[in-house]
C-alpha cells in the first residue's frame, strides 16, 4: 500500500461524509436497530437483552451486504462516467492506487456505519434492559464488519470491471440474488456434475465434505457460520435452500469425520478472499480499460 493509495482512500471517505452517504447508511442501520427493539418488545413476553441477538443477527445478515453493495457499486464507474476519473489519474495516483484506495475508503464507510448501528444497539440495551450481552454483540458486530467489507470488495471489483452505471447496478444486484436465492442451485449443479446425482435434501450423513464447503463459500453463509459459532446456536443463513438443510450441524450431514477446513474460523479467510479477489480481478480489467 502506497501513500497515494491512502490519499485516495482518505479523499473517498471524506467525499462520502460530505455527500451524506455515510450519514444515510448510519441512519438506515440505526433505524433498523430501533425496529428490532420495537419488534422484540412488542412480541416477546418479559423481553431481555439476549432476545435481541437472534433478530439482530438475521437483519444484519441480509441488510449489511445490500448496504455495502450500494455504497461501493459506483465507486469507480461513477467517476468514470462523470469524467472525474481523468482528473484523478492526471495527479500522482495511478489506476492501482485508485482501485485499492476506493476499496479502503468505501470499507471505512461500511465499518463506520456498522459500528454506529451497534453503538445504538448497546445504548438501547443498557437503557431498556440495564444489561448487555457484550460477547454476543461483539461477535455479531465483527461478523457484520467482515461481511460488509467483503461485499464492498465485490462492489468495487464490479465497479472497476464495467463501463456504465447500469452495468454496475445489474452486476451487484445479480450477484446479491445469486448469493441469496440461487447459490444452493448452483452448488447442487456442481454436485450433480461430479457425483452423477443431485444431493439428498435430507442427507443424514450422506454429503461429501467438499459440498458443504461449497455452501460456505457463499459470503452470506460464511457470516452465518461465524455468528452461529459466537452465539452457540444455529440460526442458519437466510438464503433460499432446496437441497441444503437449515439449522443442521455439519457432523450430522457429512459422510465421515468433519475435516479441518470446515472448522468455524475458516469462514474468516473466506470473507477475506471475497474482500480482495473481486478487486484484483476488477483492477486487472480496469488497468487496460479505455477511459474514453
Dump pLDDT digits (tens) for 239-260. Answer: 777 766 665 666 566 766 778 8
205 has pLDDT over 60: no
**What integer pLDDT is reported at residue 73 of this predicted model?**
92
pLDDT in tens, 130-173: 888 888 889 999 999 999 999 999 999 999 999 899 999 999 99
Window from 61-70, 182-191, 234-243, 259-268 with minimum mean pLDDT: 234-243
Domain range annotation of the chain: 3-178+269-287, 182-267
pLDDT tier at 228 (50, 70, 90 boundaries)? confident
pLDDT tier at 124 (50, 70, 90 boundaries)? confident
102 has pLDDT over 70: yes
Taking the model in full, what pTM does it have?
0.92
What lies within 8 Å, CB to CB, of 10 at 6+ separation is 105
Average pLDDT of span 24-39: 86
**What integer pLDDT is reported at residue 208 of this predicted model?**
79
pLDDT in tens, 155-167: 999 999 998 999 9
Amino acid at each position: 500500500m502506497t501513500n497515494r493509495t491512502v490519499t485516495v482512500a482518505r479523499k473517498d471517505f471524506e467525499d462520502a461524509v460530505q455527500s451524506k452517504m455515510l450519514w444515510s447508511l448510519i441512519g438506515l442501520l440505526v433505524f433498523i436497530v430501533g425496529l428490532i427493539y420495537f419488534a422484540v418488545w412488542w412480541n416477546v413476553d418479559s423481553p431481555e437483552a439476549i432476545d435481541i441477538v437472534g433478530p439482530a443477527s438475521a437483519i444484519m445478515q441480509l441488510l449489511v451486504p445490500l448496504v455495502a453493495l450500494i455504497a461501493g457499486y459506483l465507486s469507480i464507474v461513477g467517476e468514470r462516467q462523470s469524467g472525474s476519473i481523468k482528473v484523478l489519474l492526471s495527479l500522482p495516483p495511478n489506476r492501482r492506487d485508485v482501485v485499492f484506495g476506493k476499496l479502503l475508503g468505501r470499507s471505512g464507510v461500511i465499518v463506520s456505519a456498522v459500528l454506529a448501528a451497534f453503538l445504538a444497539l448497546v445504548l438501547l440495551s443498557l437503557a431498556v434492559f440495564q444489561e448487555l450481552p457484550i460477547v454476543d454483540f461483539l461477535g455479531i458486530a465483527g461478523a457484520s464488519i467482515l461481511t460488509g467489507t467483503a461485499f464492498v470488495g465485490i462492489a468495487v471489483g464490479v465497479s472497476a470491471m464495467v463501463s456504465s452505471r447500469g452495468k454496475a447496478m445489474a452486476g451487484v444486484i445479480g450477484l446479491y440474488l445469486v448469493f441469496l436465492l440461487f447459490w444452493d442451485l448452483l452448488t447442487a449443479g456442481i454436485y450433480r456434475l461430479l457425483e452423477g446425482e443431485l444431493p439428498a435434501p435430507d442427507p443424514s450423513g450422506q454429503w461429501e465434505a467438499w459440498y458443504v464447503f461449497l455452501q460456505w463459500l457463499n459470503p452470506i453463509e460464511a457470516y452465518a457460520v461465524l455468528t452461529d459459532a459466537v452465539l452457540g446456536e444455529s440460526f442458519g443463513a437466510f438464503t433460499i435452500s432446496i437441497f441444503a438443510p437449515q439449522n443442521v450441524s455439519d457432523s450430522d450431514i457429512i459422510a465421515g469425520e468433519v475435516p479441518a477446513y470446515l472448522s468455524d474460523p475458516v469462514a474468516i479467510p473466506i470473507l477475506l478472499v471475497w474482500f480482495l479477489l473481486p478487486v484484483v480481478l476488477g483492477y486487472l480489467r480496469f488497468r487496460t480499460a479505455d477511459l474514453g
